[in-house]
Amino acid sequence: MRITVSGLPGSGTTSLARHLATAHCFSLISAGEVFRQMAAEQGMDLAEFGRFAESNPAIDREIDARQKEIAEQRDDIVVEGRLSGWFVQNADLKVWLFAPIDCRVSRILDRDAVESMETARALTLEREASEAHRYREYYNIDIDDPSPYHLAINSGRFGVVDLASIVDTAILVIREKKGN
């Protein structure tokens, strides 16, 4: 089974993907983690690295191509990333998480140890705008288009265990239809 988990920053994609991978003994590929590692390697925060990526398409293309190649060659995998639902064509289940901006910013504030809610909001909105621009320019993808996804869940209303329960129900349905 191949599952993709996508959503805007702070929507809980990494937490859900990790939980699903652990619960189902699946491999995990996280584009966000790769992007964070690359930013750290360059000595940049996410906003700086996002701006750098705007002038260097090779960064996004490398992450996306690597993620797609690995995901399409393996079974029993969870692929987490903003564009994974677009790129992993043979995914059995494509999940989109969304949450209100205040909820997402609060999570980012805690996760990234940003100094204030206002700074976290500004950085989040800047990052989202940068990503939306790059995705449109590089791939002609509108990140706000939900059409590739099978399931969209408001993660502002649910914790990771609750989200996983919803996704687990979808997994059971898919397995039953496949006869697994």
| Domains annotated on the chain, with CATH | 2-173 (3.40.50.300)
Q: Average the pLDDT over each of 18-22, 54-58, 128-132 and give the range with the smallest value.
A: 54-58
**Euclidean distance between CA atoms 26 and 164, whole angstroms:** 14
pLDDT of residue 99: 96
Cα angle, residue 83 at apex, residues 172 and 4 outer, rounded to 5°: 15
**Angstrom distance (rounded) from CA 72 to CA 108:** 30
d(CA 91, CA 75) in angstroms, rounded, equals 10
β-pair partners for 154: 98
Whole-number Å distance between alpha carbons of 4 and 149: 9
For residue 33, pLDDT over 80 is answered with no
Tell me the pLDDT tens digit for each residue of 89-139: 889 999 999 999 999 999 988 887 778 999 989 989 988 998 899 899 989
Chain Cα centroid distance, residue 96: 8
